[in-house]
């Protein structure tokens, strides 16, 4: 017999008298979900997207389970620095960052031994990061966002993002 999982009505009754707004995570269900993903992942690595998990505690719980979870894809330069300073490593910045102060902060994390990879989508962006990183004498790893869209008569298949 399959175990019955809590549903909306269950949580609605449990939190009936709880003042809003509030956040709640059923850690038993989270752990079941983590185990299911581990089982399905096989030999593939999974980088957790922080824009989908907005809690340091939950990110830590997921990453600490080990394989296949490895690294975080962060949403912004400031968030990458924040997560690095909270003890996370192997961070891929999912979107290009241009703001000099954010790149400088990431460079400092790199100097402190952290692994943070910046997304780039134009030669100007690469040159900008390179100029900032030279000031603090650190090499910045980059991931190149390549435009893989296709043009067909009357149709553009894909997105217009990367200039590379």
In CATH, what number is assigned to the domain containing residue 71?
3.20.20.10
Q: Which domain holds residue 113?
A: 46-157
Q: Residue 37: what pLDDT?
A: 96
CB 164 within 8 A of CB 136: no
The total of structural domains in the chain comes to 1
CA distance 136 to 79: 21
Give the mean model confidence (pLDDT) for residues 85-93: 98
CA distance 139 to 120: 14
- Give the closest residue to 145 by CA, choosing from 85, 73, 83: 73
Give the mean model confidence (pLDDT) for residues 135-164: 84
| Residue 3, in any domain of the structure | no
| Residue 58, in any domain of the structure | yes
| Residue 15, in any domain of the structure | no
Q: Residue 163: what pLDDT?
A: 64
CB 93 within 8 A of CB 74: yes
CA distance 164 to 26: 43
pTM of the predicted model over 0.95: no
| Residue 139, in any domain of the structure | yes
């Amino acid at each position: 017999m399959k175990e019955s999982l809590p549903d909306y009505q269950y949580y609605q009754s449990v939190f009936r008298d709880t003042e809003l707004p509030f956040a709640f995570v059923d850690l038993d269900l989270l752990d079941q979900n983590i185990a299911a993903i581990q089982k399905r992942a096989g030999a593939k690595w999974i980088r957790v997207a922080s824009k989908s998990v907005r809690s340091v505690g939950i990110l830590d719980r997921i990453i600490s389970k080990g394989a296949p979870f490895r690294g975080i894809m962060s949403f912004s330069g400031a968030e990458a620095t924040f997560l690095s300073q909270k003890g996370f490593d192997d961070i891929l910045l999912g979107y290009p960052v241009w703001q000099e102060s954010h790149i400088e902060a990431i460079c400092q994390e790199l100097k402190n031994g952290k692994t943070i990879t910046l997304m780039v989508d134009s030669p100007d962006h690469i040159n900008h990061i390179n100029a900032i990183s030279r000031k603090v004498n650190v090499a910045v790893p980059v991931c190149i966002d390549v435009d893989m869209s296709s043009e067909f008569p009357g149709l553009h298949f894909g997105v217009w993002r990367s200039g590379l």
